[in-house]
Structure 1
Amino acid sequence: MYPDPAYIKALFKKHANGSITPGETAELIAFLQQGDQEALLPLPDELEDLPAPAMDTAATARVFQQLSVITAPAPSPVRRRTLIRRIAAVSAAAAAVAAAVILLYHPAQPKPLLAAVSTGYGSMKTVTLPDGTVVTLNANSMLQYDSAGWQPGAREVWVNGQAFFDVAPDAAGKFMVHAGDQLTVQVLGTRFHVAARPKGIQVVLNSGKVKINSNAQTLVLQPGEMASYRPGDGELSRQNADTLQLTSWKDNQKVFRDVPLKEIADFIEEQFGAEVTFDAPQLSQLQFTGTTPANDLDVLLNILTKSLDIRIDKHNNQVMIMLAR
């Protein structure tokens, strides 16, 4: 089934302006990997309004190499030339598309990232890193690391979204996790959770010890504690944490304990890409306690309906929560 060309164009535009989510990035990667999709790529005149990142000759050459790999496993020379000519027809548009494709696999970071793992909405993945560290990625998340430069004393990963780490001990060096652009988590051997979302960053420690750095602020967490960072004021704070509730998703469950529907609506948006609205303001303050599947929106909504005095209408990616009649 072919995707909607308008939707693909929108994903390219969101990637170019930096507003794309990890879940949408995963969709764009999947589209590019399908092959035989040149007809659905945005036309040059459709991309004229995209920002045109500065790209040198080497970068342009790299993107054409990437395109020849990810758009078809074994493309014919004629088809490859056709695809390249189409993308290169307008220089500014070509730069935008090229930059988008390059950044899917090599995002701008302090060092080249040669491996990236993404999850779409409503899905999870488990990744084993070269040192044996096991990472569980929640939905709408991305993990990046330098597989070529991975070695004792140089273990670094970058996370956008939610990930649970079971870090392999290494006496020769530490393990560094970069959460968004604001926090760095320094680890020895431990189990912890990182959530790096636009609204804020959380680090929850299950066992071991972690040191968290943000600008001039530093915190050392003990098991059962959580660090929170608010982008608005740049404040890094420490709280006691309900580790079961905050990390239950890694076992494909979501535990809620006296959680307002407003926070559950935020979870639904991040986890499933659905927009939640309330037809009465007081509904957002209703509290729910229970356990639901982490990756099944329909079951979650059904449980909420039966547990609270509400009705829920779901249509595509729109969810309306209403007072029961």
Structure 2
Amino acid sequence: MSSKYHVRAPSNRLEQAGTVDELIIRLAHSQANENEKRQLQEWRRESPDNERRFREVLLIARTAQRLSVQTQTRRIPASEAVRIAAERDRQRRAIWVPTVGNSPTRTFLKLAAALALILGAAALLDRAGQRSADVVAERPRFVTGAETGRSVQLPDGTLAYLGRSTLLEVIQAGVSPELRVEGRAFLAVPKEEGRRTIVHTSAGQVTVLGTRFDVRSEIGELDLLVLDGRVTIAVGGQDVEVSEGEMGIARDGALEGVVQVENPETRLTWMGNAMVFLGTPLREVFDEIEQRFDVDINLTDPALAERRVSAVFDGESFEQVMYIVCRVVDVRCTVTDTSVTVDATG
């Protein structure tokens, strides 16, 4: 079944000023001052609905922090991005929101205003990223512990999800970046004319020309699975090209060969529900979501299949993933317990 939800009219001065969602987002980003925190506290105490809304927007804001929305717009301050996004949001107060059946009941996050604001602001930030000090550093270095992985964005626009006990380091930035990876990582490297990225591992060197791939490098062993595009692996004076749906294998300083992988998703179970997309066609995004969450997605209009998605999902639920993807590519999604139907909006 499906229904429509409408954002209710502002009921107090804080909402009338159009600042409630902005303040919650600022709080999520550790940018709220003491006066703003006090205003939010007072507003939350006014009603259980306010407290529920606060928690939902806070969840969306933290989810959005892990998203990477690729754009080609001018660089502007984050504060200006929020102002522009808020103005856009005020012009589109009603939004179609998909729901699911009752067994069990699962409902998409309904705060469309908050999500539109977050995504609008994120889309206006420059690709280098402005979310954390380690991301914007000139030569960032990421190390995960033995218990959990993490998603990251590099200054050149590369998106990655790192497995447990993994190192990702930028050796050289610029037009021809060089990275070091030890452990397990899934990388999405931007495809740009004249650009190549070199990935160094203890077992060999990988040359990337814009692709998404899974790499495992451990004690002289290298397994590299390509999901999109192609890469070249160089080991012990030999090199081999690995294309989409193929895995290159190296052991003890020698190439063992390239094998066809019939179902690449089966080799990505180590990622859990994490997914990384960079300019990925919507049809491929939905293929991965189908396999990851065991659902059927019906794309009714073939013209929608080539719309592009750039995002990192790091443990979000099926509801959150679908809601965000459908918003980013501006499509209408109708969800039941086991399937999704996707139509053009308007």
Bin of the TM-score, shorter chain as denominator length: 0.3 to 0.5
* TM-score normalised to structure 2 length: 0.38
Normalised TM-score (structure 1): 0.40
The structure whose RCO (Cα within 8 Å, separation 6+) is larger is: 2
